Structure 1
Amino acid sequence: MAGNNSVNYVFLQRSISYRVIIVQILVIIFLCINMLLIVVFVKKECFHTSARYILFFVTLLSDSVLLLVSDVLLVLTHFEITMPVWLCITISVVVLLYFIVTPVTLTAMTLERYVAICMPLRHGQLCSTRSTMYCILIIHGVSSGPCIIILSMFFASSSLKFYKQYIICSGETFSLYRWQDHVRSAVYQFYFFIMGITIAYSYVQIMKVAKAASGEKKKLTHKGLKTVILHAFQLLLCLIQLWCPFIEIAVLQTDFTLFLNVRYFNYIMFNIAPRCLSPLIYGLRDEIFFLVLKNLRPTSSCSK
C-alpha cells in the first residue's frame, strides 16, 4: 500500500509533459501501423514463402518490441520510478538486442535484393524458406554480440551490493566507467561499419546490372537501387544514434535545459524515426503488399 502511495505521489508531483504526450502519440501510431502489417503478413500465406517478406516481418516485430520497451522506459524515467537492478538488466537485454536486430536484418534484406538482381538463377536456392529461417537465427546470434560484451563489462565491474539497489533504468546504468562507453561505442561502430560496407557493395553491384539491363529488368533494378538507398539512410540514422550520448554529455556540461531539448530531439530523430521507415520501404512501397492492404479480405490473393 505504501508503494502505491509513493507512486501516486510521484505522479502528482511531476505532471506529464507535452513532449512525453507527443512521443506516446507517435509510438501508438507507428505500433498500430506495424500491427496492421504484421496481421496482413500472418493472414496471407503467400508471404510466408518469400525471403524478403519474412525478413520484413522480422523487422516489424523487432521495431515494435523496441518502440514499446523504450517507450515504457521513457515514461518510467520521466516520472523517476525506480526498479530493481535485476529487472532493469532483463529489460535492457531486450533493448540492447533489438537495437541491433533491425539494422542487421536490413543488411540481410539488402543482400536478398542483391541476389535477386545480380544472381537471379541462384535466388531460389540461396533465399529459400529454410535458408531464411537459418538466416534469422544468424541475425539474432550476430545481434547478441554487443549485448554480451556490454553486460560482461558490467558484471565484471559492478559489486554484489549494486544488484540489491533500486535504480532509474536507463542506458547509462551499465556504464560504471568512462572506458565502458568507449568500448560500447567502438563495438557498435564496428558493426555498422561492416553493415555499411555490405550495403555499399550491394548498391555498386546492382548499379552495374542496372546500366546493362533493359525493359522490365531495368525497372526491377532501379527499384532495387531505391530500396538499397533507403536501407542505407535508415542505417545512417541508427549509426548517428551511437554518437548521441557523447553529444548529450558535452551539452550537459554547458546547459541542462539545452541538454533536455537535444536528448528529446535525438530520441525522436534517431530512435523512433529509423524504426518507422520499414513500413514505408517494404510495406507501402511494395506493390503486392500495397494491393493486399487495399483489399483486406480473407479471399484476396497476393498476385498483382
Structure 2
Amino acid sequence: MVDNITGITNGSKSSDTILFRPVTANVNVIIIQVLVGIFLYINSLMILTFFMKEAFRTDTRYILFVHMLFVDSFLMMATNLTLLLLYYRLVIPYEACIVLNLVMIWLQFCTPLTLVAMCLERYVAVCKPLRHAAISTPRIRVVGLLLIWGLGCVPALVILLSFAALVSAERLTMRVLCSVDALIVIEWQRYLQIAVFKFYFLVMSVVIAFTYIKVAAAARSASGENRKSSTKGTRTVALHAIQLLLCLMQLLTPFVEMAALQISVVVYNQIRVVNFVVFMIAPRCLSPLIYGLRDQKFFQTLRNYAVFGLDKKIQPAASQSRKVKLRH
C-alpha cells in the first residue's frame, strides 16, 4: 500500500516515492548542510554572547532575540532532518513523522510571533519611553514568551485535530517517507491550513505595519539623540517586517511544492531546495545582521568571543605600544 504524496508504505521502499536525481541532489544537499552548519555556528556564538553578559540577560529585546535564535535553531535542525530523510528515502513510523511535522509547524509560527513581539517592544521603547521600564519586567517577559508559545501551537492543534478526525488506526501503524504533507488526508484540510496561515499573516502584518508607522512618526518628530534613536528603531522594525514577510511566505511553500510535484519531480526537487535556502535560511540570517552587526554593544561582545578573547589582549598591547612611541 502506497500513498504517492506522503510515501506511506508497509515497511518497504516503493518506486512511487519521491526520488532525487543523484548528482544534482548530492550537490544541493552538500550546499545546504554547509549553510545550515554556518547558520548554527553563528547562532551558537550569539547565544553564548547573550549568556556571558548580564546586561543582555536583563534586557527585553535581547531576551526576545535569543529566544528567536533558539526557535530558529531547533526549526532548522528539524527541517534539515526531514530533508535528509527524504534524500536518503528513509521510512520512519507514521507517529514519529506526525510529531516531527507538528513540532515544525509550531516552531514556524513561533518565529514570526517573536518578531511581532520584538516590534512591539521597539514601539514601546521609542514611542512610550516612560512606560518601557514598567512594561519590561521579568513577569511581563514570562507572560509574553508563554503567549508566543501558546499562540504558536494553535495552528498545530487545528491541523492535528482535523487529522485525528479523519485518519484510521490502521494508517498509524504504517511507515512513511516523511514529508510536510503527512498530516494532509483529504483536500479540505489543505484549505483549512491555508485559512489559518492567512489569518495569522493578516494579524501579524497589521501589527508590524502599526508599529512601523508609529515609530517612523516618532522619528520624524524627534530631535538630536532622540531622533537618531528613533530612526534606528524605524530601520530595525523595517528589517523585522522583511524578515516576517519571508517567514510567513515560508509557511506557504508546502503548497507551492505540491503544485510543482504535479508538474515534474525534477521541478519539485529544485523548488524545494530554493524554498529551503530563500525562505528558511535567508530570513534567519537577517537576525545576525539586525542585532549582531547593527547593535554596537552586542557586536563588540560578540567579536570578543568570536576571536576567543584575543581582541581584549590585542587592544591593551596596542595602546601600550602607542604610549611607548609617544615617550620617545
TM-score, scaled relative to structure 2: 0.84
Q: What is the letter of the counterpart of residue 263 of structure 1? A: R
Q: Check the 8 A contact 1:234/1:277 in 2, yes or no.
A: yes
- SS of 1:158's equivalent in the other structure is coil
- Two-structure CA RMSD over aligned residues (Å): 1.9
Cα drift, residue 14 of structure 1: 6.3
Q: Does the alignment pair 1:240 with 2:234?
A: no
Pairing 1:94–2:123 present: no
Matches within 5 A, 1:263-302: 263-296=272-305, 297=309
Is 2:232 aligned against 1:215?
A: no
Q: What amino acid is the match of 2:128?
A: M
Give the alignment of 1:57-206 within 5 angstroms.
57-206=66-215
8 Å CA contact 2:181–2:254 kept in 1: the answer is no
Which residue of 1 is the match for residue 240 of structure 2? 231
* More divergent stretch after superposition (283-292 vs 255-264): 255-264
* Runs of 4+ residues over 4 Å off in structure 1: 13-16
**Higher deviation after alignment, 175-184 or 108-117:** 175-184
Alignment of 1:15-26 (within 5 A): 17-26=26-35
Q: Which has the larger radius of gyration?
A: 2
The answer on whether the counterparts of 2:94 and 2:172 sit within 8 Å (CA) in structure 1 is yes
Taking the aligned partners of 2:100 and 2:261, their CA distance within structure 1 comes to 26
Question: 1:43, CA displacement in angstroms?
Answer: 1.2
5+ residue gaps, structure 1: 1-5, 8-12
Structure 2 gaps of 5+ residues are: 1-11, 14-20, 313-328
Once residues 97 and 245 of structure 1 are traced to their aligned partners in structure 2, the CA distance between those partners, rounded to angstroms, is 15
TM-score normalised by structure 1 residue count: 0.90
Q: Deviations over 1:48-68 (max 9, x none)?
A: 110000000100000000001
Provide the rounded CA distance (Å) in 2 between the counterparts of 1:208 and 1:285. 22
Number of residues of Structure 1 aligned to a counterpart in Structure 2: 289
Contact 1:69 1:91 in 2 (8 A): yes
